[in-house]
Structure 1
Amino acid sequence: MFSFLLFSCTQQGEKIKKADREYNGSYTGKYLDRIAFPVGGTGAGMFCLEGTGSISHMSVRNRPDVFNEPCMFAAISVKGMENGTKVLEGQVPDWKKFGQPNSANGSPGTTYGFPRFQNTKFTARFPFALTEMKDDDIPLDVNMTGWSPFIPTDADNSCLPVGAIEYTFRNTGSGKIEAVFSYNSVNFMGQDNGINKIDPTSNGFVLSEEGVKDKPETK
């Protein structure tokens, strides 16, 4: 038999400290550092959209892979604008820069040294997550929206192996902007001994790996 006794002790006259942020509100500043919002069909693999807009927890091998953070990022380059090329993410949390594997060697294989947006706000509204980015160097408001297939009472479609990210840009300046948007990624599917490749597709690319004889499920 197990029994639990829950109680709370406070000093007489002690006031409960008011939270620094509104309950269920948006996240900014230090509150962005530990966010990992899951994106993907129920039981069908996932990745996480972090509070800064980076991608982590890439789990597409029939198991949770919560420490898998492949190098993948979106970027924008604005023509003729000084400091107009940046990764479409917020500032890297300090805990990632110090104490992580290989951080003493400059964190190879990451984008931590790239310029990125100064101000970021994250809002979670399952199955949607919104990351809003602003920067004094670039007259653009950038919204990054991640979402999963989720239809109440429709289990089949809610379990589709799909996770989406959408970027929208709004010109906040007075002039025309000419820019190039790109998405960049290592082939994180190439983890086993099969033949892995990156194939071009319309406005994008496809990452893949052939299944090997003793592990056909890796295809």
Structure 2
Amino acid sequence: MSTVRATPRPTVAVRELPSRRGDGRRWRVPLAVVLVLLGVFVTGVGLGRSAGRPWSVLAADAGPGRAATDPLPASRPVSLSVPAIRVTAPVAPVGLAPDGTIAVPPLERHRETGWYDGGPTPGETGPAIIVGHADTTSGPSVFYELRRLRPGDRIEVTRDDRSVAVFEVTSVERFDKNSLPGDRVYGDHRSPVLRLITCGGRFVGGSVGYADNVIAFATLVGFRDS
């Protein structure tokens, strides 16, 4: 992951999904997170099909999820804290790369995370997306331990309005990049939820890198002042 791949890729299909924001804007999301980090770094995420099951649950809540709190107004995220895996990191806005995939922070800032600014801000109604590198050729990156999160672990996102949106992990799952349920990842517009996304699974090298995506699913449970 020490170099940025510039190999041309097929354009990712995107679709318009209705926004829950008050201004009536619509936001664009890739149809599959298989390409969330595609083409950004060699050992990160790319097209490829791993053997075996198309998905696996790394951790899941055995009981019913806690009722979500009321959504928060829009405010850009500025930092992220995940105490269970000892992560404290800046959050920078990222958009779509030229090939239609979600961009991530450049490798020289691999300890940062990227919030997809085409979607809700963390705490708003809908799925907020934050992506990050798992590792580089020199060692672990910001989301290296993401797979170790468990239901009930807290994620705190400090926002530009100085509020802190508090999320609780409901599950952590690993998906084959060619078998990802896009509607589940991107399609929840009923409540304020968060997805933390990185690469994982078996390293296959080449243009594929890691065979899977690891996704932590979380729901908003409260907020406080920073």
Higher CA-based Rg: 1
Compare relative contact order (CA 8 Å, sep 6+) and give the higher one, 1 or 2.
2
Q: What's the TM-score once normalised by structure 2's chain length?
A: 0.26
